[in-house]
A and B are shown apart, each in its own frame.
Chain A
Amino acid sequence: MEDKAAAGKRSMRALLTKLFVFPVLMFGFGYLMVPLYDIFCDLTGLNGKTGAISSAQASQMQVDTSRQIKIEFTSSINQQGNWEFRPAEPTMLVHPGKPYTTEFIAVNKRNEAVISQSVPSVTPNKAAAHFDKTECFCFTEQKFDALEERKMPVTFVVGTAVPKDVDRITLSYTLFTKEPG
């Protein structure tokens, strides 16, 4: 080491800088995967991520009365919390391009106020990108008083570009307890 030339020392320093910066960048890359994952899911409709559009946009859509798609509603409760949660109607027949509204009914069975958050998912994946909601209780947190029962509306429209072989779409909500209100 002692008899190494100064040039060698300089190239060593350059190499070490690269070798130390690289792991730092990779640490950042780990975090970068979070937005990349979201973008990837949005673009592909993977993970059942649905779109949101304004009601003005929805009303401008051409209604395709030649097609009828069956929408199934399901609900589930995350393990924490004491809830009753169900769709008001189990299925609905819809035309692509036309907005529809349905409701989900939630009952807070606890004797205290609580804040909930519902997370939607749509299957099949190829339909998810064409399933747009103009209004949904899942857009915001919902506060429930003790023992409160409430009907929560969702308004959606299935885009006319939904693939031809899709004749059935399932919209599922999972209700999470965020924190006692």
Chain B
Amino acid sequence: MNAQAVDHADHDDHHHGPAKGWMRWLTTTNHKDIGTLYLWFSLAMFFVGGAMALVIRAELFQPGLQLVAPGFFNQMTTMHALVMIFLALMPAFVGLANWLLPMMIGAPDMALPRMNNWSFWILPFASAMLLATLFVDGGAPAGGWTMYPPLVLQTGAAFPMLIFAVHLLGISSIMGSINIIATIMNMRAPGMTYMKMPLFVWTWFITAYLLIATMPVLAGAVTMLLTDKYFATSFFSAAGGGDPVMFQHIFWFFGHPEVYILILPAFGIVSQIIPTFARKPLFGYSSMVYATASIAFLSFIVWAHHMFTVGLPVEAELFFMFATMLIAVPTGVKVFNWVSTMWQGAMTFETPMLFAIGFVIMFTIGGFSGLMLALTPVDFQYHDTYFVVAHFHYVLVPGAIFSVMAAAYYWIPKWTGNMYDEKLGRFHFWMSTIFVNILFFPQHFVGLAGMPRRIPDYAVQFADFNAISTIGAFGFGLSQLLFAYIMIKTAIGGKKATSEVWEGAEGLEWTLSSPPPYHSFSTQPIIK
């Protein structure tokens, strides 16, 4: 990154450049620096969470207990989820928002640069606190990332660390979201009306609202857990008149919007990339905006589909089943629009486009298995099996994570001024795609056959598919080292990129030089 910093300094003849030395990164209020910090942080945490996943898969390679104790296995499943959701995926999207939103709407920076610095720098400390639980008495949280009581209350010394880490991560993302909303509402270039904003801006605008609406609810739920454990309240303790099922209602009131927080920015990214390489404008722009808003609204009234088996009355199960299935309509609109954008386009298949197309196909597979899970009667069989694991990993790995990678390949020439290695990028795509399917597709089968999730051992009839899945996991994990190599190599140097970078790219960010000046758009462009 130092090479890039020097490059920036050369470009900046009319503005002061970044401060020198490592203090630049600590004190920076520049949206590009903060975006860069978020993205590298997220990449590092992606490997931490990935290593945990490999511990899980290594143990599941064969039936029986071989490598780790069951308690540690449970710590790994819990921490893998927390790290990937809160430390890898969410910071990745916030990093992309930081880098791209001001450049896309023609603003000089984010609306609240100092708070932006704070939003980021809370993260490493919160993460350190969460990861440090691995080394305390009783080990890391092992009751699942959903933190259901009463099980989670049995967590040892890690318990308050978990709760406060969740609080800090929540504060960080709430501040980040406030910043994003303020930037989008107040700093758009003259003439950029809401319905002219790029879709990545739109999807993040809606995502930010979801975040400020639901992260505080999670904070409240975990605070109740904290007072239940240490201050003798009985929110979730049946003996004291509380109800553990109520935690699930409050948690999933946060949790279901949260899963859309992890996917809506991905929709935005793919909607930016596909038109570029199909060389056609996005099909159905306004329907994309309305579909995103509909999905966000519906996300608040479907939470109980995560808890069909807790004993809901049949009326509630029907309501949540139909409401959930309704989400397939706006999501289907999106998939049709992406396909229609590609239809009869002059398509080329550079790495970002490959990842975007991979996203459309494999996210849709995950969407369909989600539709199956939405059916209350069959959910009673699928609940807490590997079918659920296969479903949400299809929407999150070749879904959300592929979109982040697509974004990284698509915009890194703009960010650094250097082209990535196209041959290596395509190789990375094909390795990832092949292995991710070897990894997760067999999990559908063992799940339908009844293999429960979060269990370190399993019946021998599941052995073959689990062995295949583990091979896929290690192949996928190793392929990501290639991704890190490509990104670092591109950050350091490489063939110079033009300002447009891509022949068919539209949008304000492509009117800036590559890399863009440290302070872009100090005079705002006028949109006609």
CB distance from B163 to the nearest CB of A (A): 14
- Bound-state Cα–Cα, A11 to B220, Å: 30
Q: Does B213 contact A (CB under 8 A)?
A: yes
**Cβ of A119 and Cβ of B238 under 8 Å apart?**
yes
* Chain A residues whose CB sits within 8 angstroms of the CB of B224 once the complex forms: 30-31, 34
- Additional A-B contacts beyond A23-B178, A34-B224 (16; CB < 8 A): A16-B182, A19-B181, A22-B213, A26-B213, A27-B220, A29-B217, A30-B217, A30-B221, A30-B250, A31-B224, A33-B246, A37-B246, A47-B245, A78-B238, A174-B238, A176-B239
Question: Which of A8, A44, A125 meets B186, CB within 8 Å?
Answer: A8
Q: Does B253 contact A (CB under 8 A)?
A: yes
- The proximity string for A residues 1-20 relative to B, scoring 1 for CB distances below 8 Å and 0 otherwise, is 10000001001100110011
Q: Given A37-B246, A119-B239, answer yes or no on A30-B182 (Cβ-Cβ < 8 Å).
A: no
- Bound-state Cα–Cα, A8 to B185, Å: 11
- Bound-state Cα–Cα, A44 to B250, Å: 19
Q: Does A86 contact B (CB under 8 A)?
A: no
Q: Given A30-B217, A46-B313, A176-B239, answer yes or no on A23-B212 (Cβ-Cβ < 8 Å).
A: yes
Nearest B residue to A25 via CB reads B216
- Bound-state Cα–Cα, A19 to B112, Å: 13
* Chain A residues whose CB sits within 8 angstroms of the CB of B111 once the complex forms: 12
* Chain A residues whose CB sits within 8 angstroms of the CB of B245 once the complex forms: 47
* Chain A residues whose CB sits within 8 angstroms of the CB of B220 once the complex forms: 27-31
Q: Given A1-B108, A30-B221, A119-B239, answer yes or no on A15-B174 (Cβ-Cβ < 8 Å).
A: no
Q: Given A20-B178, A30-B217, A176-B238, answer yes or no on A47-B109 (Cβ-Cβ < 8 Å).
A: no
* Chain A residues whose CB sits within 8 angstroms of the CB of B246 once the complex forms: 33-34, 37
Chief secondary structure at chain A's binding surface: helix
Q: Does B395 contact A (CB under 8 A)?
A: no
**Cβ of A78 and Cβ of B239 under 8 Å apart?**
yes
A-B pairs, 5 with minimum CB distance = A30-B220, A176-B239, A27-B216, A26-B216, A30-B217
CB distance from B142 to the nearest CB of A (A): 17
- Chosen A-B contacts, 7 in total, with CB atoms closer than 8 Å, are A1-B109, A19-B178, A24-B216, A26-B217, A29-B217, A30-B250, A47-B245
Q: Does B235 contact A (CB under 8 A)?
A: yes
CB distance from B525 to the nearest CB of A (A): 15
**Cβ of B219 and Cβ of A30 under 8 Å apart?**
yes
- Bound-state Cα–Cα, A178 to B257, Å: 36
**Cβ of B216 and Cβ of A178 under 8 Å apart?**
no
* Chain B residues whose CB sits within 8 angstroms of the CB of A24 once the complex forms: 216
Interface size on B, residues (CB 8 A): 33
* Chain B residues whose CB sits within 8 angstroms of the CB of A34 once the complex forms: 224, 235, 246
Q: Given A12-B186, A30-B250, answer yes or no on A117-B216 (Cβ-Cβ < 8 Å).
A: no
- Bound-state Cα–Cα, A171 to B238, Å: 16
* Chain B residues whose CB sits within 8 angstroms of the CB of A47 once the complex forms: 243, 245
Q: Does B249 contact A (CB under 8 A)?
A: yes
**Cβ of A37 and Cβ of B216 under 8 Å apart?**
no
- The proximity string for A residues 96-134 relative to B, scoring 1 for CB distances below 8 Å and 0 otherwise, is 000000000000000000000101000001000000000
* Chain B residues whose CB sits within 8 angstroms of the CB of A33 once the complex forms: 217, 246, 249-250, 253
* Chain B residues whose CB sits within 8 angstroms of the CB of A12 once the complex forms: 111, 182, 186
**Cβ of B313 and Cβ of A125 under 8 Å apart?**
yes
- Which of A's residues lie within 8 Å of B, judged by CB? 1, 8, 11-12, 15-16, 19-20, 22-31, 33-34, 37, 44, 46-47, 78, 117, 119, 125, 174, 176-178
Q: Given A27-B216, A30-B216, answer yes or no on A37-B186 (Cβ-Cβ < 8 Å).
A: no
CB distance from A143 to the nearest CB of B (A): 14
* Chain A residues whose CB sits within 8 angstroms of the CB of B313 once the complex forms: 44, 46, 125
Q: Does B214 contact A (CB under 8 A)?
A: yes
Nearest A residue to B215 via CB reads A23
- Bound-state Cα–Cα, A23 to B217, Å: 9
* Chain B residues whose CB sits within 8 angstroms of the CB of A20 once the complex forms: 178
A-facing residues in B158-195 (Cβ within 8 Å): 174, 178, 181-182, 185-186
* Chain B residues whose CB sits within 8 angstroms of the CB of A23 once the complex forms: 174, 178, 212-213, 215-216
Q: Does B240 contact A (CB under 8 A)?
A: yes
Question: Which of B178, B181, B239 meets A178, CB within 8 Å?
Answer: B239
- Bound-state Cα–Cα, A47 to B219, Å: 25
- Bound-state Cα–Cα, A44 to B316, Å: 12
Nearest B residue to A47 via CB reads B243
CB distance from A79 to the nearest CB of B (A): 9
**Cβ of A19 and Cβ of B182 under 8 Å apart?**
yes
- Bound-state Cα–Cα, A19 to B216, Å: 13
**Cβ of B243 and Cβ of A37 under 8 Å apart?**
yes
- Bound-state Cα–Cα, A61 to B182, Å: 62
- Bound-state Cα–Cα, A73 to B350, Å: 68
A-facing residues in B208-235 (Cβ within 8 Å): 212-221, 224, 235
Question: Which of B112, B219, B240, B241 meets A27, CB within 8 Å?
Answer: B219
Nearest A residue to B222 via CB reads A30
**Cβ of A26 and Cβ of B250 under 8 Å apart?**
no
CB distance from B454 to the nearest CB of A (A): 19
